[in-house]
């Protein structure tokens, strides 16, 4: 296709500059164009056809028929077929029962169509070994997104609007306005189809498009361009922000090597330029809402040790001068297990307890590792019970003579609330604690020179 007018030349050059600036198109790459038949996607197809030989790229189109608008859906499909046939662009077609999908997954029709569309595009991309999927979002779409995010409430990232690239989704027309797209089609003498649902202001985005943006243009005819340019500046500023935030997060957090916990130092958090936003960046990806994060932040000074706040995926506990964060785990972690005799008992998918007896001779060496305990078997009565600790549990720590609350012992060992909750004890038939599992045995059952038979307990 040849460029024929200043409008066409300007439109194509602008698309090329934008694609180059954001590294959207790779020479000799293969690209899928999401083609609905509307003005935006038709313009996208046509401008990429203009650039096809210049960049040496290969184009294929994909059209989704969602069967939501009766004859209009069939009209759109036929239009896309004829357009691609005329332009010699291979076209991939797929039909969806969108209502059935929405009912099955309990989502809106709009969300169902989005899920189906992008899942299909990605699968097609893999099947035909395409580089990326080109979609026809334009500048006005990005401006609408910024305004919608502001209305709903947003952080800094919501002010970026729509991004030129999101994984394998690219948007070569993002710097163009809707008016430029219409002028481009007119200059080419090309037609398109119109989705009648876009003409009614019965959804939030269309209200922004039809009612709010025209009012803003009365205040500033270049309002859309100004908002779009601001969103680009926010995107660049966020690169600096994200780098600084990663350093801040690394400074205040300590991953645990033995478990999936993350420890947040409250004193170091308070030293950050923006403690609350640093906390937000840590907790928001883990499912905590803005209201929960504000609650956590305002509680830092009162330090309610032992308090737990849960998100949909994680738990956060206040623990002295730290916050402890971990993925949610089922409760109880291990079901109480009765052990009637020696043998190997499966506690969970990755945990077993081996119970065996050993004869003690003069050279008998009791276990000294955390995952194995050797006890005098003479006074131990079966059945044994393995369970989590309970309020009021007491034992005589090895080497001591008096009893001590298990909770106090664990506190002295600086165990946090999650570690305490996960702690197991092994008791005998008289409910006496034999072993604080992985921590310490009870002194009443220690091996002595008079021990004839040992009970050996091994966690595997």
Q: What percent of the chain has pLDDT over 90?
A: 73
Mean pLDDT of 304-321: 90
Phi-psi region of 158 (alpha: psi -120 to 50; beta: other; left: phi over 0): alpha
Mean pLDDT of 346-357: 85
What pLDDT, on a 0 to 100 scale, did the predictor assign at position 303? 81
Backbone phi, then psi, for 206, in 5-degree steps? -70, -30
pTM, two decimals, is 0.70
What pLDDT, on a 0 to 100 scale, did the predictor assign at position 332? 52
Tens-digit pLDDT profile for residues 147-188: 999 998 887 888 999 999 999 999 999 999 999 999 999 999
Measured distance CA(408)–CA(391) in Å, rounded: 11
DSSP 108: -
- Burial (Cβ within 10 Å: 0-12, 13-18, ≥19) of residue 176: buried
Q: Are 435 and 426 in contact (CB under 8 A)?
A: yes
Distance of CA 460 to the CA centre of its chain: 33
Residue 200 has pLDDT above 50, yes or no: no
Residue 325 has pLDDT above 90, yes or no: yes
pLDDT band at 352 (very low <50, low <70, confident <90, very high): confident
Helices (H), 299-416: 406-412
Higher pLDDT, 12 or 331: 12
What pLDDT, on a 0 to 100 scale, did the predictor assign at position 304? 87
The continuous run of DSSP H or E covering 384 comes out as strand 384-388
Residue 395 has pLDDT above 90, yes or no: yes
Measured distance CA(279)–CA(260) in Å, rounded: 18
Could you write out the DSSP letters of every residue in 414-447? Answer: T--HHHHHH-EEEE-TT--EEEETTTEEBGGG--
What pLDDT, on a 0 to 100 scale, did the predictor assign at position 316? 94
Residue 331 has pLDDT above 60, yes or no: no
Measured distance CA(337)–CA(383) in Å, rounded: 10
- Burial (Cβ within 10 Å: 0-12, 13-18, ≥19) of residue 94: middle
What pLDDT, on a 0 to 100 scale, did the predictor assign at position 199? 45
Measured distance CA(62)–CA(121) in Å, rounded: 8
Mean pLDDT score across all residues of the chain: 91
């Amino acid at each position: 296709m040849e460029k024929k007018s200043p409008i066409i030349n300007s439109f194509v050059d602008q698309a090329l500059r934008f694609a180059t600036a954001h590294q959207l198109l790779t020479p000799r790459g293969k690209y899928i164009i999401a083609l609905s038949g509307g003005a935006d996607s038709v313009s996208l197809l046509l401008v990429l056809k203009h650039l096809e030989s210049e960049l040496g790229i290969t184009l294929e189109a994909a059209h989704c028929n969602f069967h939501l608008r009766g004859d209009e859906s069939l009209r759109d499909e036929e239009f896309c077929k004829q357009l691609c046939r005329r332009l010699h662009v291979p076209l991939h077609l797929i039909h969806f029962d969108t209502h059935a999908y929405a009912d099955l997954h309990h989502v809106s029709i709009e969300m169902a169509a989005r899920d189906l569309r992008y899942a299909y595009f990605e699968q097609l991309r893999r099947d035909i070994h395409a580089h990326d999927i080109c979609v026809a979002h334009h500048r006005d779409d990005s401006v609408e997104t910024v305004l919608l995010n502001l209305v709903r409430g947003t952080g800094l990232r919501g002010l970026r609007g729509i991004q030129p690239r999101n994984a394998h989704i690219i948007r070569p027309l993002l710097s163009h306005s809707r008016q430029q797209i219409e002028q481009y089609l007119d200059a080419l003498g090309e037609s398109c189809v119109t989705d009648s649902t876009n003409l009614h202001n019965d959804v939030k985005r269309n209200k922004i498009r039809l009612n709010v943006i025209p009012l803003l243009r009365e205040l500033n005819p270049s309002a859309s361009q100004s908002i779009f340019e601001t969103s680009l500046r926010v995107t660049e500023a966020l690169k600096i922000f994200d780098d600084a935030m990663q350093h801040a997060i690394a400074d205040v957090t300590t991953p645990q090597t033995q478990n999936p916990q993350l420890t947040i130092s409250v004193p170091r958090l308070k030293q950050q330029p923006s403690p609350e936003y640093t906390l937000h960046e840590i907790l928001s990806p883990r499912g905590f809402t803005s209201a929960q994060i504000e609650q956590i932040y305002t509680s830092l000074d009162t330090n309610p040790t032992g308090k737990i706040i849960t998100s949909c995926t994680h738990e956060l506990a206040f623990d002295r001068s730290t916050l402890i964060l971990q993925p949610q785990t089922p409760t109880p972690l291990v079901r109480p297990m009765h052990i009637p005799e020696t043998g190997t008992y499966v506690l969970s998918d990755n945990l077993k307890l081996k119970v065996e007896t050993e004869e003690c001779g003069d050279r008998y060496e009791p276990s000294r590792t955390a995952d194995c305990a050797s006890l005098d078997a003479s006074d131990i009565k079966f059945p044994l019970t393995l369970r989590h600790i309970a309020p009021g549990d007491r034992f005589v720590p090895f080497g001591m003579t008096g009893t001590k609350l298990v909770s106090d012992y664990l506190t002295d060992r600086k165990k946090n609330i999650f570690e305490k909750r996960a702690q197991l004890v092994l008791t005998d038939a008289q409910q006496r604690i034999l072993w604080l599992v992985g921590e310490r045995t009870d002194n009443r059952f220690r091996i002595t020179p008079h021990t004839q038979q040992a009970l050996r307990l091994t966690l595997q």
